């Protein structure tokens, strides 16, 4: 659970699902990076299921190896490179095996992978997964296959993802793709393209389907969920002008949240990620109106200095962020809040760094994901700003930020001791097979002795003790909601 405090990109996890018996070919699919990548891999597995592929966890027996890649920081790319070397070693034993790169590294490194280094057979960008059947034919015919075209429309709304290796209790449902925010440090707008929203009907249908299959919690996913906007069944380009568009019934994020919350009142609803500049009060009110929308907001700020925020092209000041935090606390007094923070952005002074620490002191986040600035090729920061903070200083600042977070996490978990909180049981505790593990609405992990309960149960747990990341308690009965 430490990874919550010092976030690493999720390390490669190869996930499997029960396949179809007629399917004879084997797919090994591994995902790195953000939740969206894991979610996309489920779409890919669904498309390939119809092409005769079942998933396997055994790399050696795979006919096709796909790695869903992350470009967010240099380290993430290095990890994937090492994996590609490993696949190629296996390929020497199993020459029939084909290797493909999916996701964010596809666009940037396609020619390097295919032509210069010849370490992969196929490169597929995040918007081209429906082209996989054609690309696989190319590969079978002995040609390299590549499609990294980014789309303004693709949302995969019509594809029912197969759920890979989940716990059967919690699932992710993507609601937007891409990002238009252009934060100067961030590669996502380049690797994942323009922002587009998926139609609400298909989102609700997917949530209903998950409920039918016994899932108890969904997280609505997007780079920036608050800018979700669907215009009465059409796309922006389908309207003559802005007024026509306004007249059509638009579904914004708070309306979508209500739709989903009402469709499945017995299910927990979460969402991620919120951008401070786009988060509106009506989202907070929707959360307070519906008990099943969890009181937890992942609200990355990146820096506590207005000057750095400006250089990052974040559209708010330190003071505006405080106002938003005050609003959250006013409307949702028991809301969990987490952060993303970057240490050592170009030009960051010691004073800016102190501003970050004092902002953290003000908010006292429940937990956070903290990173050293990593220059990404092609971003505005890489083109216009010198990566001028020495690594030693970046490291020291990051350590101070992490230490501060550790203190606040311990403070937050301690607040729950003595309380009885609602926990959705997800799985067995990693550390003890005699304990269940789940999360409270604020997204803090709790563990407690198993007794008669099972994964998927919503139980009330009396918290007796805690660490800085985990609540420790005992179940006192089912939640009344259950």
* 300 is an interface residue for ligand SAH by CB under 6 A: yes
- Considering CB under 6 A, how many residues would be counted as binding ligand SAH? 16
Select the binding partner of residue 376 from ligand F3S, ligand SAH, none (C-beta < 5 to 8 A, by kind): ligand SAH
- 405 contacts ligand SAH (rule: CB under 6 A): no
User: What are the φ/ψ torsions at residue 261 (nearest 5 degrees)?
Assistant: -65, -40
Site map 212..231 versus ligand F3S, x via CB under 6 A? -----------xx-------
Position 271 contacts ligand SAH (CB under 6 A)? no
CA distance 424 to 415: 19
Given a contact cutoff of 8 angstroms between Cβ atoms, the answer to whether 468 and 410 are in contact is yes
Q: What distance in Å separates the CA atoms of residue 129 and residue 140, rounded to the nearest whole number?
A: 17
| C-alpha span between 282 and 270 (Å, rounded) | 16
116-155 footprint of ligand SAH as x/- string (CB under 6 A): ----------------------------------------
Q: Which region, judged by CB under 6 A, interacts with ligand SAH, from 37-45, 246-254, 320-328, 368-376? A: 368-376
466 known member of a binding site: no
36 binds ligand F3S (CB under 6 A): no
Binder among 47, 72, 76, 162 for ligand SAH (CB under 6 A): 72
Q: Is 373 in the site for ligand SAH (CB under 6 A)?
A: yes
- Residue 6: name the closest of 107, 100, 75 by CA: 75
CB 68 within 8 A of CB 55: no
Q: Are 278 and 226 in contact (CB under 8 A)?
A: yes
Phi/psi for 281 (5° steps) reads -65, -30
Q: Which is nearer to ligand SAH, 156 or 271 (CB)?
A: 271
**Are the beta carbons of 339 and 275 closer than 8 angstroms?**
no
Q: Select 314 or 408, whichever has its Cβ closest to ligand F3S.
A: 314
Quick one: CA dihedral 43, 47, 49, 50, positive or negative? positive
189 binds, among ligand F3S, ligand SAH, none (CB under 5 to 8 A by kind): ligand F3S
Q: How far is 97 from 355, CA to CA, in rounded Å? A: 52
List the single partner that 73 binds among ligand SAH, ligand F3S, none, CB under 5 to 8 Å by kind. ligand SAH
343 scored as a contact of ligand SAH (CB under 6 A): no
186 annotated among ligand-binding-site residues: yes
Residue pair 167/52 in contact (Cβ under 8 Å)? The answer is no
Separation CA 335–CA 328 (nearest Å): 7
List binders of ligand F3S among 266-325 (CB under 6 A): 275
CA gap 267, 298 in Å, rounded: 20
Minimum CB distance to ligand F3S, residue 34 (Å): 9
- The beta strand positions in 287-387, using DSSP E, are 296-298, 336-343, 367-372
Least distance (Å) from ligand F3S to the CB of residue 342? 9
294 assigned ligand-binding residue: no
Among 124, 188, 294, 446, binds ligand SAH (CB under 6 A): 188
- Closest CB to ligand SAH among residues 17, 385: 385
Told to check if 192 binds ligand SAH by CB under 6 A, we report no
CB 54 within 8 A of CB 26: yes
Q: What values do phi and psi take at 171, rounded to 5?
A: -145, 160
Asked if 45 is part of the footprint of ligand F3S (rule: CB under 6 A), the reply reads no
Phi and psi angles of residue 382, each rounded to the nearest 5 degrees, phi first: -70, -35
Which tokens sit at 420? 């009885």
Return the number of the residue (365 or 369) whose C-beta is nearest ligand F3S: 369
104 marked as part of a ligand binding site: yes
| 220 alpha carbon, distance to own chain's centre | 9
By the rule CB under 6 A, 277 interacts with ligand SAH: no
139, two tokens: 């590969």
Part in contact with ligand F3S (CB under 6 A); list of ranges 14-22, 180-188, 380-388, 397-405: 180-188
Sequence-distant (≥ 6) Cβ neighbours of residue 436 within 8 angstroms: 425, 426, 427, 428, 429, 447, 448, 449, 450, 453, 455
* Residue 74 burial (CB count, 10 A): 13
Q: Interaction with ligand F3S in 256-275: which residues (CB under 6 A)?
A: 275
Q: CB nearer to ligand SAH: give 72 or 255.
A: 72
What are the residues whose beta carbons fall under 8 Å from the beta carbon of 149, sequence distance 6 or more? 125, 127, 128
Q: Which of residues 224-243 bind ligand SAH (CB under 6 A)?
A: 224
Is residue 73 a contact residue for ligand SAH (CB under 6 A)? yes
The contact set with ligand F3S (CB under 6 A) reads 179, 181-183, 186, 188-189, 223-224, 275
Residues making up the annotated binding site are 34, 70, 104, 179, 183, 186
Residues making up the annotated binding site for [4Fe-4S] cluster are 34, 70, 104, 179, 183, 186
The contact set with ligand SAH (CB under 6 A) reads 72-73, 185-186, 188, 223-224, 273, 300, 302, 340, 342, 371, 373-374, 376
């Amino acid at each position: 659970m430490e990874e919550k405090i010092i976030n690493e990109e999720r390390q490669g996890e190869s996930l499997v699902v029960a396949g179809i018996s007629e399917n004879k070919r084997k797919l090994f699919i591994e995902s790195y990076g953000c939740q969206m990548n894991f979610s996309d891999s489920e779409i890919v597995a669904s498309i390939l299921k119809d092409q005769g592929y079942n998933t396997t966890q055994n790399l050696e027996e795979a006919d096709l190896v796909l790695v869903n890649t992350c470009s967010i920081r240099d380290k993430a790319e290095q990890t994937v490179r090492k994996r590609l070397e490993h696949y190629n070693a296996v390929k020497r034993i199993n020459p029939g095996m084909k290797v493909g790169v999916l996701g964010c590294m596809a666009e940037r490194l396609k020619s390097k992978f295919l032509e210069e280094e010849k370490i992969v057979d196929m490169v597929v960008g995040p918007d081209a997964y429906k082209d996989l059947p054609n690309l696989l034919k190319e590969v079978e015919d002995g040609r390299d296959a590549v499609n990294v075209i980014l789309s303004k429309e693709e949302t995969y709304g019509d594809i029912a993802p197969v759920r890979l290796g989940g716990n059967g209790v919690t699932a992710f449902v993507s609601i937007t793709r891409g990002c238009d925010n252009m934060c100067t440090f961030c590669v996502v707008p380049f690797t994942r393209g323009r922002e587009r929203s998926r139609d609400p009907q298909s989102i609700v249908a997917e949530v209903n389907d998950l409920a039918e299959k016994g899932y108890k919690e969904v997280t609505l996913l997007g780079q920036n969920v608050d800018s979700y906007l669907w215009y009465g069944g059409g796309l922006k380009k389908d309207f003559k002008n802005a007024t026509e568009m306004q007249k059509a019934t638009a579904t914004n994020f708070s309306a979508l949240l209500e739709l989903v919350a009402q469709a499945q009142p017995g299910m927990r609803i979460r969402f991620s990620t919120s951008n401070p500049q786009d988060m509106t009060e009506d989202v907070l009110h929707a959360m307070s109106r519906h008990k099943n929308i969890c009181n937890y907001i992942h609200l990355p700020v990146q820096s506590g200095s207005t000057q750095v925020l400006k250089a990052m092209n974040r559209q708010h000041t330190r003071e505006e962020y405080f106002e938003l935090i005050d609003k959250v606390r006013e409307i949702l007094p028991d809301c969990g809040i987490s952060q993303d923070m970057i240490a050592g952005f170009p030009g960051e002074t010691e004073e800016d760094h102190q501003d970050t620490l004092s902002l953290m002191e003000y908010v006292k986040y429940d937990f956070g994901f903290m990173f050293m600035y990593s220059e990404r090729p092609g971003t505005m920061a890489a083109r216009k700003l010198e990566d001028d903070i020495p690594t030693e200083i970046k490291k020291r600042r990051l350590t101070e930020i992490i230490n501060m977070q550790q203190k606040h996490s311990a403070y937050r978990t301690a607040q729950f001791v003595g309380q009885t909180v609602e926990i959705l049981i997800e799985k067995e505790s990693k550390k003890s097979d005699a304990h269940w593990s789940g999360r409270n609405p604020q997204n803090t992990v709790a563990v407690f002795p198993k007794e008669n309960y099972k994964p998927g149960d919503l139980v009330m747990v009396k918290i007796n003790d805690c660490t800085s990341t985990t609540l420790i308690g005992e179940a006192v009965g089912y939640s009344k909601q259950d």
